[in-house]
Amino acid sequence: MLFASGLTALLWATFLGLGLTVLADDKPCTLHHDGNYYDLNPLKVSKDYEFKTPGGHSFYLNVCRRVTTEPWSPGVPDGADIAGLVRKDHHDFAIGMVNTTLEMRDTGLMLHLSNGSPCPEGDNLYGSSAIMFLCDKSVYGSGNPVVISQWPEDDDQACQYTLEWRTHFACPTGERGLMSGIIVFIVITVMIFFMLFIVASTLYNRFVLRKRGFDQLAQLSKDHLLEVMEFCADLFRSILDNIRSSSHTWAGSGSRDLNSTSHHWSSRDEERAMMAADPLEDDTAHDQELQDTNAWSNEAADRQGAAP
C-alpha cells in the first residue's frame, strides 16, 4: 500500500512538474511586456548574417547563439560564445558575447552585447554593441542588420557598435496565457498516456494473448482498452503482493535467528546448547559405564573360580 501511494505521488509530481514547465515561459530571447509577447528565436540561423561596416569590413552576426564563422585571433578565450565579429585587416574583432536577455526601450526591443575583444586604443575597454530590433511588418523575411554608428569612427579603431534591425519578428504577438498553457499541458499528458497504452497493448497481445505479426499491434477499441487496463491493474496488485510477502519473509527469518534487541540466541539454538550441556544426560552415561565395568569384573571372577 505504501509503495502504491509513493508511485502515485511520483506520477503526480512528474505531471505537475511537466505542467509547470509548460506554463513557465522562460525561454531565452523572449520577453513579456504590457501584455505582449516577443520572441526573437526565429532569427537564429545556421549561417551567420553577413553585412558590411561603414569602412567596408565584413561583419558577421547571429542572434541568441554564437557565430558559426570561425574567428581569427579575436583576443578572447578559446571556445568563447562570440555573438558577432568584424573581420579587420589583421585579426577579427569580437563585438560581444552571446546574450539572451531582451530589453524594451522606447524604440523597441534592445539586445546588448559586451565583453568582446580588447579595444585598440583603450585600457580595460572591450568590444560591445547594442542591437535595436524594430517592428516592421513589411519585411516578410528575417531582414538585415545595419551598422548605424560606431565609436571611434575609424573602422580600424572602432570598438563599440550600434546596429538597427528591421524585421517582422520584432513585432509583438499575443502573450500565451494560463489557458493556452493548460491546453498544451493536457495535450502532452494525453500523448504520454496514449504512448503508454500503445506499448502496454502490444506487450499484452504478444505475451498474454500469444499473437504474432500485425495481430500483436495495439487495438484502438474501448473493450480492448478496458481489458488492458484490467490486466495492468492485476499485474500491479500481484507485484505489490509479492513485495509484501517477501518483506514479511525476510523480517520473520531475521527475528527467528537473532533477537536484535537483546542479542540472545533463538529458542532453537538455546535448545541445542542445553542438550549439549545437560548434566542429567552426563550422569546417565557415567552410570551405564560403571555397570558395564562391574559386569565385566563379575564375569572374570566367575571364570577364575570355575577353573580346577
So what's the pLDDT on residue 219? Answer: 80
Lowest average pLDDT, out of 94-98, 136-140, 182-186, goes to: 182-186
263: left (phi over 0), alpha (psi -120 to 50) or beta: left
Please state whether the predicted TM-score (pTM) of the whole model is above 0.75: no
**CB under 8 Å to 125, separation ≥6 — which residues?**
118, 119, 159
Residue 163 binned pLDDT confidence (cut-offs 50, 70, 90): very high
DSSP 70: P
Mean pLDDT, range 151-155, rounded to an integer:
94
Q: Give Cα 276 distance to the centre of its chain.
A: 62
pLDDT > 90 in the chain, percent = 42
Say which amino acid occupies 238. S
Residue 261 binned pLDDT confidence (cut-offs 50, 70, 90): very low
SS3 percent helix, strand, coil of the chain, rounded to 5, is 45, 20, 35
CB half-sphere exposure, 277, CA atoms < 13 A: 5
CA distances from 176 to 26, 34, 173 (A): 12, 13, 9
So what's the pLDDT on residue 265? Answer: 45
Cα angle for residues 183, 185, 190 (degrees, 5° grid): 95
Which residue did the predictor score with more confidence, 215 or 82? 82
The residue among 119, 149, 158, 116 whose CA lies nearest residue 131 is 149
Mean pLDDT, range 64-78, rounded to an integer:
94
- Please tell me whether the peptide bond between 152 and the residue prior to it is cis, using omega within 30 degrees of 0: yes
**CB under 8 Å to 59, separation ≥6 — which residues?**
50, 51, 52, 53, 84, 85, 86, 87, 145, 147
Residue 197 binned pLDDT confidence (cut-offs 50, 70, 90): confident
